[in-house]
Chain A
Amino acid sequence: MFYRLSGTYHTSYEADRKLWKIPTDRWLVVAVLLLALLAPLYVSPLYLGSYVLPWVIWSAAALSLTLLMGLAGQLHFGFAAVMAIGAYASIHLVRFGVPFELALLLSGLIAAVIGAVFGGAALRVKGLYLVMATLAMQYLVDWVVVNVPAISGGAHATLRTPAVSFLFMPVESLAARYWLALGWAVLLTVFFMNVKRTSFGRALVAIRDKDFAAAVIGVDPFKTKLMAFFTSSFMGGVTGAILAFCFYRAVTPEQFGFNVSIQLVAMVLVGGLGSVIGSWLGAGFVLLAPIFLTNLVSGLAAAGWVPVSQNFLSHLPLMIYGAMIIGFLLLEPLGLAKIYDNIRKYFLVWPFRHARS
C-alpha cells in the first residue's frame, strides 16, 4: 500500500537491473537527498556541526571500507591509518601551493598507493592474518606520523588546515563545509551503488566468495585484490582529507588512532557488510550512540535518577557501546541494513504479511 505495489515482479532484464526497482524507493531517496541538501537551513548549528556533519563524513569512510570488507571480503583493521595518510598529504600539499581540488585527488592517490602496498599482504593471506597485517600497518603509520615532525607539525603535533576554497566556494562556513562533505559522501554512495553492477564489482564479489573459484572462472585474484585495496584506499584517503578540512580543521595523530580503525570496522559491521544504507546507518549509530548515551546518562544523573559515582557514569556509555556491538553480532549479524530491509518489506505488502524482495 505504501509502496503502491504488492512486491517486485520484473518482466524484463532492464527492469531487474535498475538501480531503483520500485519507484517509491527512488522518491524516498530524492526526498532524503533534498532534506540533506537543505539541512543548513533548518538544522541548528549545534546539530549540523557536531552530529550531521561528522555523520556524513564517517558514512563516506564506512562506504570506503565496506567496498573492501563487504564487497571484496578483505578485512582491514588499519583503515584510520589510510585516512591519516590522506589527511596529512592533503594539508601538506595545500601548504605547498597545490590547489585544493587537485590536492584532494593527489592525497587520495598517495593514500591509494601506500594502501595498496600494504594490501600486498592480502595477496598472501586472508582472514585473521590479514587482520593482524593491517593492524601492524596501523601501528607503523602511527609511528611515522608521530616521529617525523615534518609530517605531524612540530612540537605540538598539531597541524591546522589552511584556508581553502573548493570550486570558488570558500570552505569556511559550516554550511560550505557540510555541503562539500555531503557532496563527497553522495558521490561515493552513487559510485558504490553502481560499482556492484560493473564487471569490477562482480569480480570483487567473486573474490570474496572464494578466490580460488574466482581464479578458475577467469578473475585474476592478484589484480582484483590490489584494485580493491587501491580503490578503497583512494576513497578513504580523500575522506581523510575531507575530515581534516571540513570537520577537525586541526589535525593531530590521535584523530587517526587504532581505536578509530576499530570504530570504522564496527560501523561497517553494525550497519551490515557491503550495504550502502548499512554504511550510513552504521556510521550514524556507532558515532552518535556513545554521544547520546553520555548526554542521556548525564541528564539522568543531573536529575538524581541514577545515584552512582561519576566514574561509573562516565564508563557506562563504553559498556553499552561494547554490549551493543556484541548484541548486534549475536542477534542480527546482518546489521542495521537487515533491520531496515525487514521494515521495508513489511510495509511493501502491508496489510498482508509475506513479501518477496
Chain B
Amino acid sequence: MAYFLELLISGALTGLMYSLVALGFVLIYKSAGVPNLAQGALVMTAGYAVWLVMAWGLNVWIAIPIAAAIMFGFGLVVERLLLRRMVGQPVIMVVMLTLGLEILLRGLVPGVLGSTPKPIDLGIDFAPIIIGDVFINRTSLYGGIVALLLVGASLLFFRTRLGTKLRAVSDDHVSSWAVGISVERAIGISWGLAGIAAVVAGALWGSSQGVDWTLSTLLFPAVAVVILGGVDSVPGVVVGGILVGVLGTVIPGYLDSVAGGSTRDVVTSLIILLTIMVRPFGIFGREDIERI
C-alpha cells in the first residue's frame, strides 16, 4: 500500500513537472491555434539560458528572472519572424515549421554553448521527505508546487485586461480585429509567456538531469499531457499532467519487472491514442465544430 501511495505521489509530482512543459504549448495553442512542437527545444534553450546567466557568476535566483526575460524576448522574436508568416497555412506546414525550429535550436544552442551536460544547482536538499514508508522527492515536490502556482497565475492572467484580449483572440481572430484588438501583439505575447514557462521547466528539469539537448525529448510526455487535458485548456494541463504522471509511474511500477522492459512510453502512447479515439478534444478541450 505504501508502495502504491509512493508511486501515486511521485507520479503526480512528476506529472506536474510535465505540465510545466505542456503549459507553454497550451498558452500558444490557446491564443494562436498553433501547435508548437518546438516547446521541448524551447525548454532546452531556456535551460541553457539559465546555465549561461549563472556562468556569469550570478546567483540562480537572479539568473532565472534574467533568463525569463531573455526567453520572453526570444518567444516574441520567433513569433514575429517565423509564425506570423504562417497565418492561414495548413496545419502540416505549421507543424513542420515548429519541427524545423526544433532542429535549428538543437543544432544552434548546443553547438554554440557546448553539448556536454551542464549542471544547474537550485540548492534543493537531496534528502527525501519521509512520511511513514513513503519517500517524497524534494525536487519534484517543489516542481509540482511551482507548476500549480504557474498554472494558477496563468488562470489569473486570463482574467486581466490583457488576458481577456488573449481569450478574445483565441475565440476568433477576425472578430478581435474588428473590435480593435491587436491580434499580432496578443499572439506575440503568448509566445513570450511560453518562453517564460520554458524557463521554469528548463531550470527544474535541468537541475535534475543536467542541461543538454535531451531536455527537448520532454516534448513527448508533454504532448500526452495536452492531448489528454485538451490542447486549449490551462486547467487541463494540471489534470492531464497528473493523470499522465500517475499512470506513467504506477503502471510501470507494477509491470516493468514483469515485462522486462520499461512500459512508460507504451503507457504514454496509449494515453495519446485512446484519448484521440474516445474524446479527441481531451477532458477540458473545446470541441471544434467544422463548417463545410
A-side residues, CB < 8 A to B, are 69, 75, 120-121, 124-125, 127-129, 131-133, 135-137, 139-140, 142-143, 146-147, 210, 212-213, 262, 265-266, 269, 273, 311-312, 314-326, 329-330, 333
Contacts and interface: CB of A to CB of B under 8 A. Distances in A.
B125 interface: no
B107 A128 contact: no
22 contacts: A75-B95, A129-B276, A131-B91, A133-B276, A135-B220, A136-B268, A137-B273, A140-B273, A147-B259, A266-B99, A266-B100, A269-B92, A273-B92, A312-B112, A315-B111, A315-B115, A322-B100, A322-B105, A325-B96, A326-B82, A329-B89, A333-B93
A131 B220 CA distance: 12
B247 to A, nearest CB: 14
Contact-residue size bin, chain B (C-beta under 8 Å from the other chain): 35 or more
Given A125-B280, A136-B270, A140-B269, A319 B93 contact: no
B227 A132 contact: yes
Residue from the set B106, B110, B261, B269 with the largest chain A CB neighbour count within 10 Å = B269
B273 A121 contact: yes
Nearest to B82: A326
A119 to B, nearest CB: 12
A318 B111 contact: yes
The binding surface of chain B is classed by DSSP as helix
A323 B269 contact: no
A132 B105 contact: no
Given A312-B111, A330-B82, A330-B85, A318 B268 contact: no
B91 A128 contact: yes
Instruction: Report which residue of A132, A315, A319 has the largest number of chain B beta carbons within 10 angstroms of its beta carbon.
Output: A132
A136 B100 CA distance: 20
Question: Which of B100, B261, B280 has the largest number of chain A CB atoms within 10 A?
Answer: B100
Contact of B265 (A129, A131, A143, A316): A143
Contacts of B292: 210, 212-213
A135 B223 contact: yes
Contacts of B91: 75, 127-128, 131
B133 interface: no
A329 B272 contact: no
B110 A136 contact: no
A25 to B, nearest CB: 29
Contact of A326 (B89, B104, B112, B261): B104
Contact of A140 (B227, B231, B266): B266
Q: Which 9 pairs, one residue from A and one from B, show the smallest C-beta to C-beta distance?
A: A315-B111, A322-B104, A318-B107, A325-B100, A322-B103, A319-B107, A147-B261, A136-B269, A136-B272
Interface string B1-38: 00000000000000000000000000000000001000
Nearest to B263: A143
B96 A121 contact: no
Nearest to B33: A128
A220 B110 CA distance: 49
Contacts of B128: none
Nearest to A123: B277
A273 B96 CA distance: 12
A136 B228 CA distance: 13
B106 A329 contact: no
Contacts of B102: 322
A321 B273 contact: no
Nearest to B261: A147
Nearest to A120: B277
B111 A316 contact: yes
A332 to B, nearest CB: 12
Contacts of B227: 129, 132
A319 B269 contact: no
